[in-house]
Amino acid sequence: MNIVLRLAWRNLWRQPRRTWLTTGAMVFSNTLLVFMISLQFGMYELMIDNTLQVFTGHMQVQAPGYKEDQKMRQTVPRIVPLADSLRDRFGLDTIAARGWAFGLASSDERSYGIGIFGVEPDYEPRVSSVPGLVREGRYLEEADATGIVIGSVLARNLRVGIGDELTLLGSGKDGSFAAAVVHVVGIFESGIADIDRNFAQMPLRLFQDMFYMDGDGHQVVVSAATLEAAELLLPEVAAALPDGAGLVVHDWDALQPGLRQAIQADMSSAFFMYGILVILVAFSVLNTQLMSVLERTHEFGIVMSLGLRPGRLGRLVMLETAMMGLMGLLIGAITGTLFTTWFTVNGLSIPGMEEMAAMFNLPARIYPEVTFATAVAGPLIVYGFTLLAALYPALRLHRLHPVEAMRVN
């Protein structure tokens, strides 16, 4: 076995430049693949985490039909006790109850329509990143009777600052006229215009009063430590819900279908590109190995006339390919890792991509990370196709007749 290995290895180096060029093709593709795959999956995770952190959470308990229609009257009854019981049951404080309504906010000088969240000030910071983004003033406290926090763009548009008064108008759960006077206690800034312009948060108690909720709410947000943990938690939460109310639990994918879909769409186009790269490498290998086999027709003829079967020669060719492929795999995985790690340290920001990044809740500068999986996935696939490509020249050897072969050259 050893001699065959040695033979295969030396055959590769009969034409060093050719072997290096073919390996070069593999290394190039692999480096690109490692980088792009690491970047991709890092970005996806970031996108999901960042987006869910804003409002959605990992799952929400809602009234049936609320997800589609978002009507005021589709409520979760006795929402705070429910949230309390869930918190006790699972020992988690990353559970928060909310109400949501639309209303008109008026200051002295301006009026704007906004979305109004009623939140539990003690628990909302655990499920959402917004409370942590308060830049001026402070976030809500349970004791606030008339406090409200608003986004920075909204504050600017309404021409209000901390302490100023706002009048809120809307429709209550039963459709009746709802109104309240509130004071700005905090202004948050997320950097995302849509969020900073369109939303405000007030204590849930105040919300329930203003909108005649009768102790109801609209969403119980539940978050877990990781996406995987959330997946396991969901059925348990569903089971813990009181019977008869018909409440449902939606996971984040149902709440934000666009997220997974955007990722899928991106993955499809990425796979197309990866596929092309892999195919081009396969062509390269096919070319090289075919030439390498044809060159040795005479030699193979001699060997076969000495009694060696074509199958063994075919296996030799596959072995040569496997070795060369392995070189490409290892070197490519390493250079790919090094290349990506440079960006892990220094970050990657594509000029002109800032707006696009913001659209997907991504920071303008990304730090891709290489994991074993991302470093090896691409190169392994290239390796597989490399072996596949060499099948044709290897199988061709079965058609070789010793005498004809020796007549070549």
Contact residues toward other proteins (CB under 8 A) are 15, 17-18, 21-22, 24-25, 28-29, 32, 69-73, 101-104, 106-115, 156-157, 169-171, 175, 198, 257-265, 269, 272-273, 276-277, 279-281, 283-284, 286-288, 290-291, 294, 350, 352-356, 359-360, 409
Shortest distance, CB of residue 18 to other proteins, whole angstroms? 6
Find the shortest distance in angstroms from Cβ 273 to other proteins.
7
| Nearer residue to other proteins within complex by CB, 18 or 315 | 18
Minimum distance from residue 164 beta carbon to other proteins (Å):
14
CA distance 170 to 177: 6
Q: How far apart are CA 126 and CA 196, in angstroms?
A: 20
In the bound complex, what is the minimum distance in angstroms from residue 108's beta carbon to other proteins?
Answer: 7
For other proteins, give the closer residue by CB, 224 or 259. 259
Q: How far is the CB of 332 from other proteins (least distance, A)?
A: 12
Least separation in angstroms between residue 274's CB and other proteins is 11
Residue among 81 and 191 whose Cβ is closer to other proteins:
191
- Cβ at position 170, least distance to other proteins in Å: 6
Q: Using the minimum distance from each CB to other proteins, give the nearer residue, 93 or 108.
A: 108
Q: How far is the CB of 122 from other proteins (least distance, A)?
A: 29
